[in-house]
Every structure is written in structure tokens, then in C-alpha cells.
Chain A
């Protein structure tokens, strides 16, 4: 990882909370050069715009493409060439197509280095809830979320730390139905970056707040790095 956990916690008290775009830039910063990466639908897709071309990061889309290019515009739009969000994309040199079973074999087989997903909740032990609210009238739809959560070597979650009602989304135990157990490595939020890959939650970075302030607002014990 480009931000080693052995480094001491950094508290950026002079800036923050981060905008969505700044969060995407932080995630992009932490994706190692040359990685094979899947960016989930929604906010994670915005990470692509912050990847340096010279970093050589290769994007995978589960509907059957490796080496996916940016979103297509105008004459580039081809209904046969979309990303997992069904948005038209482009085909740069070096791209490859494959069928769905191969695409998920690539994922499940541990060949992807990083995937970036959104979340409703993440638990202190890295459980992920992002597919179903569990509401009785909700139509369940899982897509590739469970496959991604279990398949990539590192699962990065991008989410706001607090829900609209003010409740924390980094929780002792998820109350929403799980997508995967103990699968999340890191949680990127507008106020802090958490490492949840180990036995305890480690705060790697904060923006516009301190570890102590966060500890007072969360029900999970926080630890400093280094």
C-alpha cells in the first residue's frame, strides 16, 4: 500500500471534511501503481478520474472487460460497450473482453488487487453491508457486490461516516443484511480513513477533526497508527 499502516496517524486539522471529489482523490492516491482494480457503481466510479495515467492502473468491469477506458461521449457511444453501471465507456489499446463466468472467476480467484465499493454500514471487524436495506418493501438486488467483497485482495469502502439521520455507519455490528464477512480493508470517509483489516480499528488519517473527537462520536474503539 502506498500509505503504509506503520506510518503514524495524520490529523489534517486545517482542512476538511473532504468533498466527494477529494475523497475520490485520496482513494486514488492509495491504489498501488500497476494494480488491477474494480470500481463499484456510483461514487467509486469517480476514483477513475484521479488515477494518474502513468500509474498504469488497469480497470476491470464485471460485465466483461479489462483495461476499460473512460466514459464515452458523442460519437464514441456504443450500446455494446458499457460499464457495470450500464454507462457507455471506451476501448483503449490493450483492452480485453471475456464472458461473465470468466469475469467473476477473475474476481473470485483473487486476481484483482483492489475493489472500491459504497456501503450502508461497515463493522469494526470489516463486515460489509451494502446491498439491501432489509426493509420489508425493498426489492433485493445484489449484482456483483458479494462477489467483489469476497474476491478482491483489498476491499476499499467509500462512504460518508454518518447517515442523513446522524447515525454512524462505522459500527460495532452491522444491522443491515451483510454483503460479506470480514472482507473490508479500509474505509474512506469525508472525515477519516480507517484501517479495519486487523483486530482493531486504526485511524490512519483525519480531515477537519481529530481522532479524539471521532472517538467520542463512534461506538467502536479507535486506535492510532504507528
Chain B
């Protein structure tokens, strides 16, 4: 018997609303939101979160919203108290930029690899880890440091979510997941770090149709699957716009 609940057969919005309601998400929680830009962003689940109404949220995601949809829409709706991310400033991050400059949202900037590893640690039961990234920079200020094998390291703590919202390509009938190309990005790590993980998938395939050797996220990490292929009505297709970012990252 699968513990995973499947939400399908209604409109995409209704399925996503049901999954969000079942996730137990409430105001003040920490939400892990997958995606690197729009690739892998669970737009249908974020839209459901906006309709749900939970606010004072801490959102952990690589970026702080692009354009006016997805995470940007959640921010614009005033539901986010704090953003934990690696790269908030982009050519199309006007929603976050405005809120940040107005002092309406708190920001914690974390190096991208440290962000991923802090969530990996949370999912793996590791409380904290020593990491060389960021040593000697503003982002290590106030953190414990230690010399290990002659190299400076900074202590980084695990980062857990009350709920993880991610996007995968396919689920089988018990919640095993595979992803598509670079839309995988933070999904597998967030699935392990969320106390409850909600996934939107392009389709659910019969159990046995996924090669067990190729499963990326095993079912144990998955609580709710929203099957966009069996829902009716419009699903949201991500748009692609080449960006000109800062010279570095």
C-alpha cells in the first residue's frame, strides 16, 4: 500500500488545492520551492498556495521569483515574510526587488551549493557540516569556523522545510519520481528535506513502468502527487527567456 496520495481527475487547480490542503501547510511555515528560474518551478502548486492563503511564510528557493508568475506571484500577494535563496537579483525579479527595497521582505543569501547541501543535510539527518565555501566573506560572518586538513571551513546548519513543493516529470503509481533534464535541479534534495513533500508531475505512469534503476526520488520522500495529465483545463507551461545576469555566478 502506498502512503502517497494522488490528486487527479479534476481541474489542475482543484487537484493542486486538494494537495495543498492535505499537506497541512499553515501560516508561518517554511516552504521549500523547487526550480532554477522557471525550469522545475512547481507553478501549479504555487498558484494553489496563493489561493490557500497561508502567509508569513519563509520561502527557500534558488531565486526570488521571475516575471509575475510562480514565486513572483506569491511574493506579490504579500504571503512571504522571508526569502532564503542564492540569487534574488535578476533582470526579471522586479517583484522581489520592489518588496525588498520597501523593507517588506527579509532576505538571507546563501551560496548556491551551500543552500543545496544544507537541505541535503536536513534530509539525511545531519545537523550541520563544515564547508570551505564562503570562508573569509560576508556570508561567513558570525559563523563558527574550524581548520580541517589545513584549510578553513565554516559551520553551516541543516535547512529543513515544513513543506516542499516541487515539480517532477513522472511519478509511478506509488510515488517514485523521475525528472526531466535540468528541471531536476533542487527537486530531489527538497523532497528529502521537506517534512511533507508535494509534487506536481506531467504524468503518472503505471507502477512498474519506471525502470527502478532510473528512479531519482524514491517514494519514501513523496507524500502528495498532483497529476497534471489527468486534470482538465489549462496547465502552465514555463516560458523561456534568455537572461543577462551579473558577470559572476
Residues on A lying within 8 angstroms of B by beta carbon are 40-43, 61-65, 77-82, 84-88, 91, 97-101, 103-105, 107-108, 117-119, 127, 130-132, 137, 139-147, 150-151, 159, 177-181
Contacts and interface: CB of A to CB of B under 8 A. Distances in A.
A132 B246 CA distance: 10
Contact of B247 (A43, A61, A99, A147): A43
Interface stretch (B12-20, B50-58, B72-80, B107-115): B107-115
A79 B39 contact: yes
A179 B37 contact: no
Interface string B154-167: 00000000000000
Given A104-B117, A177-B137, A145 B248 contact: yes
Contact of B133 (A42, A99, A132, A150): A150
Contacts of A62: 112-113
Interface in B98-128: 100-101, 107, 109-117, 119-120
B247 A141 contact: no
B68 interface: no
A141 B113 contact: no
B138 interface: yes
A147 B238 contact: no
Contacts of B183: 79-81
Interface of B: 36-40, 62, 86-90, 96-97, 100-101, 107, 109-117, 119-120, 131-139, 152, 179-189, 216, 237-249
A119 B181 CA distance: 30
Contacts of A99: 116, 184-189, 216
A147 B189 contact: no
B186 A146 contact: no
B248 A100 contact: no
A158 B141 CA distance: 28
Which 8 A-B residue pairings sit nearest by Cβ, starting from the closest? A143-B249, A104-B113, A118-B247, A147-B113, A130-B248, A100-B116, A181-B136, A141-B89
B46 to A, nearest CB: 16
The majority secondary structure among interface residues of chain B is loop
The majority secondary structure among interface residues of chain A is loop
Given A77-B240, A82-B240, A142-B110, 6 more contacts: A98-B184, A99-B188, A117-B247, A139-B101, A141-B246, A181-B137
Contacts of A101: 113, 116-117, 119-120, 188-189
Nearest to B112: A144
A141 B133 contact: no
B248 A63 contact: no
Contact of B181 (A80, A127, A159): A80
B249 A40 contact: yes
A101 B122 CA distance: 12
26 contacts: A40-B249, A42-B245, A61-B182, A62-B112, A65-B182, A77-B240, A86-B240, A88-B240, A91-B181, A97-B179, A97-B181, A97-B184, A99-B185, A100-B112, A101-B116, A108-B117, A117-B248, A118-B246, A137-B101, A140-B88, A142-B139, A143-B245, A147-B111, A150-B132, A151-B133, A180-B136
A88 B181 CA distance: 11
A146 B40 contact: no
Contacts of A105: 113, 117
Contact of B137 (A79, A100, A137, A178): A178
A62 B133 CA distance: 15
B116 A141 contact: no
